[in-house]
Amino acid sequence: MIPVKVFDTPQDAAKSLAAEVAELIRSRAAEGKPVVLGLATGATPLPFYAELVRMHREEGLSFANVTSFNLDEYSGLPREHPESYWYFMHHNLFDHIDIKPENVNLPSGLVAPEDLDAHCAAYEQKIKDCGGIDLQILGIGRTGHIGFNEPGSDDSTITRKIQLDELTRSDAAPAFGGIENVPKTAITMGVATIMAARRVVLMAWGAKKAPIVKKAVEGPVTSEVAASYLQKHPNACFLLDKEAASELQ
Ligand code: PGA
Question: Which of ligand 1's atoms lies nearest the C-alpha of 44?
Answer: 3
* Distance (Å) from CA 209 to ligand 1 centroid: 9
* Share of the chain residues as helix, strand and coil, in percent rounded to the nearest 5: 40, 20, 40
Q: Model confidence over 194-205: pLDDT tens digits?
A: 999 999 999 999
Calculate the CA 26 to chain-centre distance.
Answer: 22
32: Cβ contacts below 8 Å, ≥ 6 apart: none
Residues marked active site are found at 150
Ligand 1 centroid to Cα of residue 232, in Å, is 22
Question: What's the pTM value of the predicted model, to 2 decimals?
Answer: 0.97
- pLDDT on residue 68: 98
Report, as ranges of residue numbers, the positions in the chain whose pLDDT lies below 70.
none
- Locate the ligand 1 atom nearest the alpha carbon of residue 139 and give its number: 9
The full DSSP string for 201-212 is EEEE-SGGGHHH
What single-letter DSSP state applies at residue 113?
A: G
Q: Are strands 104-105 and 236-241 parallel, antiparallel or unpaired?
A: unpaired
In angstroms, the CA 19 to CA 24 distance is: 9
What residues are in contact with ligand 1 under a 6 Å CB criterion?
Answer: 42-44, 139-141, 145
Of 17, 41, 88, 205, best ligand 1 pocket probe by most atoms within 8 Å of the beta carbon: 41
Using the mean position of ligand 1's atoms as its centre, give its distance from the Cα of residue 42 in Å.
Answer: 5
Distance spanning both ends of the chain, measured CA to CA: 12
pLDDT at 135: 98
d(CA 2, CA 6): 13
User: What's the sign of the alpha-carbon dihedral 101, 104, 105, 110?
Assistant: negative
pLDDT of residue 1: 87
